[in-house]
Structure 1
Amino acid sequence: MNPLRGRQIVVSSEELKNYPTNEYQHREAMILNQQLYCQRCNALIIRQENVLPNGVFFCSECQEFGRIRSDSYLVSVRGQGGEKEERSVNFTWQGKLTQLQTHIAQQLQKNYQAKQSTLLWAVTGSGKTEMVFPVIYLVLLKGGRVCMTSPRIDVCRELYPRIVAAFQEEQVLLLYGNSKEKYRYSNLTICTTHQMLHFYQAFDLIIVDEIDAFPYEGNSVLQFALKNALNPHGRLIYLTATPPNHLLQEVQQTFAIEKSPLRFHQRPLIVPECIWYNHWEQASHSRFHFKKFHRMILELLKDNHVLVFCPSIQFMNRLAKQTQTYFIEGQVASVNSTDPLREEKVQKMREKKYQVLFSTTILERGVTFEDLSVIVMGANHPVYTKSALVQIAGRVDRKGEYRRGRVIFFHNQKTIGMRQACREIKEMNQLAKGWLSK
């Protein structure tokens, strides 16, 4: 099979002869439609800022994925969205769906067969991944190609072993910025949304997990790349626990919207406790202001390990250092997006090797820890949107036996985001009660 199948690559005009038109499709790297646009990322080229000495233009928006110039071409294999041949697929997942999960899974299959895309609005811990297994199986069975993508590397890493376990005979590919594995053709791909820039009309189904997460949310380049990677007859499934209003408005005419208010274990979402903490920002360097935080940590540790979210790396590092003085070495750690040991620390927290783990918002979604309580320091800080707070609260009581996990919002001002997050969690719990009473 052609190793470029499903991919688009940038080639110079001199290299174009190596890709005959009977097998490859050629597209100009940039198109002039009153203004100049990049065909890979759809960015507007500001000519005076993106011009080389020889008068050739380049795109600065997507140059981290390789230089693309106005005198180059995008090349892809022809006929990628044509007829499919059915094949046998071994579905090896050993779990069992609940009644609600089964209903949602069947709807996803029906929507796909009716050529309709779907937004699945499902609470954190509802088992979204397991609910999409049947539709993945259906598409693979029909000879199609599936991509599961997320804006977050951590989410992709967590999805990979679960997908592999469910489809053990498939050659699942995992791609992200510095992943060890290079591209190879696969019927089942897991990747970050940035990797979509390398695909063209490749997939029959693209499932976007955490579609409202940074950096995809509000990023027109990544949104264009996603649509570009979908073959003309393909369908989308958006997964989210916290859909922004603009997304709901955007899809209401063209997507089916399915709601799942119940967690897999059928316990309600944990409602946050909003606790006043005057001068919380001084807890990292004032022993007096640290006391309240320390008392809460000790209280929560009676039942669970504790994940502490902080609004900045600097504040987090200071607070973690202050906390460490009260614990045995190795029981307290911190993690952020630039930490080279990030993956290792997350795994250690899963293995319960830390009593307390401090984090920025990078762990607000896509990771699962058992026996956990959560503290948000300064929940009124602007970095904590309604969606972020709902996701953070959703880290608690995701799996395992109930351990009296708590969600603490420390604040010195009750923001709209905090109020909306608490209200949305309570509303979902009410919907869940209604489903359970059926």
Structure 2
Amino acid sequence: MEELYGRQKAMQKDEIATLDNSFQWRAGLEVSAKVSCQRCGSRFSKEENQLPNQSYYCPYCIQFGRVTSQTYLVSQVEKPNVSREVVFTWQGSLTPAQQKISDNILENYCRAKNSLVWAVTGSGKTEMIFPVLRYCLQNGGRVAIASPRIDVCRELYPRINEVFPQEETLLLYGDSTETYRYNALTICTTHQLFHFYQAFDLLIIDEIDAFPYEGDQTLAFAQRNALKKAGNYIYLSATPPEHLLESLKDTFCVEKLPLRFHQRPLVVPQLVWYEKWQYCYQSNWKIKKLIVCLKKLLKDNDVLVFCPSISYMQKLYAKVSEFFNSQEMDCVSAQDEQREEKVQHMREGAYRILFCTTILERGVTFDHISVVIMGANHKIYSKSVLVQIAGRVDRKGVYHYGQVIFFYDQKTLAIRHACEEIKKMNRLAQEWL
């Protein structure tokens, strides 16, 4: 049987009869006045989801295998922690501001306290958690770094693997080719946490405010299940929403960093009126403003063009291709099976312009980049999304005059608040300096 240390698997009653005392199990569904799922935390009435044999099932996490009122969730009691040597090969160094935050995170963990790292995009959040990762692993602990976004996990994996080369880091997401194996260091999407039970001494949630985690109570329940009883959290975010800050004020230490590691300010968006941007792909005259803008930006940098929908992106890409070398352009979305390859091509300089949806709003880094948002007033662009997209510019290296352009035809609260937050962080950073 597969190892189930900190892992949970739905099994029938006759299957658990053969298990020894190294296993533990609990009912998959608790049935009282209502039915409660013990894997995802969902509650529903008895009449909603009943099978012909009169048992109940949970429809909310059925993609991970069906849990019924005749099912048990089985796991193995975790192995005791044993101190060990950990190979750590990072050759970089932290700035004084980063070092202060990193020291605080480690101190909080040693005192069994949770941390929220509220740090601007490009501040080096990943590097700041290296010491606490090393400490936890050295003390025999298990660590998971989870993110709602697949692209964030893919970007984190090689960086973590490089500095902890002997940890055999596990990368798990929906379509990943790697199968589960017991290990000390895991990088995964937050949906993968449904498969864990009291597994991790340290659970780090990167981009805690990102879709689809934000507002999803089943993912929050899975996260709580995945942490050991004595375990601790570290949340990472550049744009924590007010309701999150309010909910954490009594249980988390908030470590705030308004400075990027290179100490340059965040790039403030330029607001550019673009009447009827929704239809700009319909004629050469309507597209002219975008073409002029792209030609200007391309003198210094490559360009990411963010679009509010896939259909709009495809139409805009087709029209703009008439004005530039189509071999140096492409478009990418969550539905694209080649998204990973296209993002890599952009990094390598094969493309000068990449049209994209909000899948690239966070967790990805490009050199020499400017950003254009088409229809920044669209409802899909919340304040945090706009701040995150703007944060793609000038993340590392020397300054290359990267710009952030918000094309809009209505000034929304999200636009106004995003610009205010960026300016506020820049003022705070200046005070720090």
- After superposition, residues 276-315 of structure 1 pair within 5 angstroms as 276-315=273-312
Name the amino acid aligned to 2:420. R
How far apart, CA to CA, are the structure 1 residues paired with 2:221 and 2:177?
26
Residue equivalent to 2:54: 55
Q: Give the TM-score normalised by the residue count of structure 1.
A: 0.97
Instruction: Report the alpha carbon displacement of residue 206 of structure 1 after superposing the two structures with TM.
Output: 0.4
How far apart, CA to CA, are the structure 1 residues paired with 2:124 and 2:273?
33
- After superposition, residues 41-80 of structure 1 pair within 5 angstroms as 41-78=40-77, 80=78
- Cα pair distance change 1:330/1:193, threshold 3 Å: same
Q: Give the TM-score normalised by the residue count of structure 2.
A: 0.98
The reply to whether residue 212 of structure 1 matches residue 195 of structure 2 is no
- After superposition, residues 152-163 of structure 1 pair within 5 angstroms as 152-163=149-160
Q: Give the % identical residues.
A: 54
Given that residues 45 and 58 in structure 1 are in contact (C-alpha distance below 8 angstroms), is that contact kept between their aligned partners in structure 2? Answer: no
Q: What secondary structure sits across from 1:14 in the alignment?
A: helix
Residue equivalent to 1:396: 393
Residue equivalent to 2:376: 379
Q: Deviations over 1:230-284 (max 9, x none)?
A: 0000000000000000000000111000001111111110000011111111112
The reply to whether residue 238 of structure 1 matches residue 258 of structure 2 is no
How far apart, CA to CA, are the structure 1 residues paired with 2:2 and 2:61?
25
Comparing 67-76 with 384-393, greater Cα deviation is found at 67-76
Name the amino acid aligned to 2:335. T
Comparing 132-141 with 43-52, greater Cα deviation is found at 43-52
Given that residues 204 and 231 in structure 1 are in contact (C-alpha distance below 8 angstroms), is that contact kept between their aligned partners in structure 2? Answer: yes
**Alignment length (residue pairs):** 433
Q: What secondary structure sits across from 1:256 in the alignment?
A: strand
How far apart, CA to CA, are the structure 2 residues paired with 1:140 and 1:355?
41
Name the amino acid aligned to 2:42. A
How far apart, CA to CA, are the structure 1 residues paired with 2:387 and 2:416?
11
Instruction: Report the alpha carbon displacement of residue 329 of structure 1 after superposing the two structures with TM.
Output: 2.8
Q: What secondary structure sits across from 2:326 in the alignment?
A: coil
The reply to whether residue 409 of structure 1 matches residue 406 of structure 2 is yes
Q: What secondary structure sits across from 1:181 in the alignment?
A: coil
Instruction: Report the alpha carbon displacement of residue 399 of structure 1 after superposing the two structures with TM.
Output: 1.1
Name the amino acid aligned to 1:216. Y
Q: Deviations over 1:342-387 (max 9, x none)?
A: 1000000111111110001110001000000000000000000000
Given that residues 118 and 237 in structure 2 are in contact (C-alpha distance below 8 angstroms), is that contact kept between their aligned partners in structure 1? Answer: yes
- After superposition, residues 19-418 of structure 1 pair within 5 angstroms as 19-20=19-20, 22-78=21-77, 80=78, 83-418=80-415
How far apart, CA to CA, are the structure 2 residues paired with 1:3 and 1:70?
24
Instruction: Report the alpha carbon displacement of residue 219 of structure 1 after superposing the two structures with TM.
Output: 0.2
Name the amino acid aligned to 1:432. A
Residue equivalent to 1:435: 432
How far apart, CA to CA, are the structure 2 residues paired with 1:370 and 1:212?
25
Name the amino acid aligned to 2:54. G
Given that residues 34 and 46 in structure 2 are in contact (C-alpha distance below 8 angstroms), is that contact kept between their aligned partners in structure 1? Answer: no
Comparing 238-247 with 83-92, greater Cα deviation is found at 83-92
Given that residues 123 and 262 in structure 1 are in contact (C-alpha distance below 8 angstroms), is that contact kept between their aligned partners in structure 2? Answer: yes
Given that residues 333 and 357 in structure 2 are in contact (C-alpha distance below 8 angstroms), is that contact kept between their aligned partners in structure 1? Answer: yes
How far apart, CA to CA, are the structure 1 residues paired with 2:324 and 2:32?
63
Instruction: Report the alpha carbon displacement of residue 33 of structure 1 after superposing the two structures with TM.
Output: 4.2
Q: What secondary structure sits across from 1:236 in the alignment?
A: strand
How far apart, CA to CA, are the structure 2 residues paired with 1:260 and 1:291?
40
Q: What secondary structure sits across from 2:186 in the alignment?
A: strand
Instruction: Report the alpha carbon displacement of residue 328 of structure 1 after superposing the two structures with TM.
Output: 1.9
Gaps (5+ residues) in structure 2?
A: none
Deviation beyond 6 Å, 4+ runs, structure 1 = none
Given that residues 31 and 69 in structure 2 are in contact (C-alpha distance below 8 angstroms), is that contact kept between their aligned partners in structure 1? Answer: no
Instruction: Report the alpha carbon displacement of residue 45 of structure 1 after superposing the two structures with TM.
Output: 3.0
Instruction: Report the alpha carbon displacement of residue 286 of structure 1 after superposing the two structures with TM.
Output: 2.5
Instruction: Report the alpha carbon displacement of residue 2 of structure 1 after superposing the two structures with TM.
Output: 7.0
Q: What secondary structure sits across from 1:26 in the alignment?
A: strand
How far apart, CA to CA, are the structure 1 residues paired with 2:57 and 2:327?
49
Comparing 330-339 with 47-56, greater Cα deviation is found at 47-56
How far apart, CA to CA, are the structure 2 residues paired with 1:415 and 1:257?
29
Name the amino acid aligned to 1:367. V
Q: Deviations over 1:178-220 (max 9, x none)?
A: 1010000110000000000000000000000000000000000
How far apart, CA to CA, are the structure 2 residues paired with 1:18 and 1:59?
26
Comparing 395-404 with 191-200, greater Cα deviation is found at 395-404
Residue equivalent to 2:3: 3
Gaps (5+ residues) in structure 1?
A: none
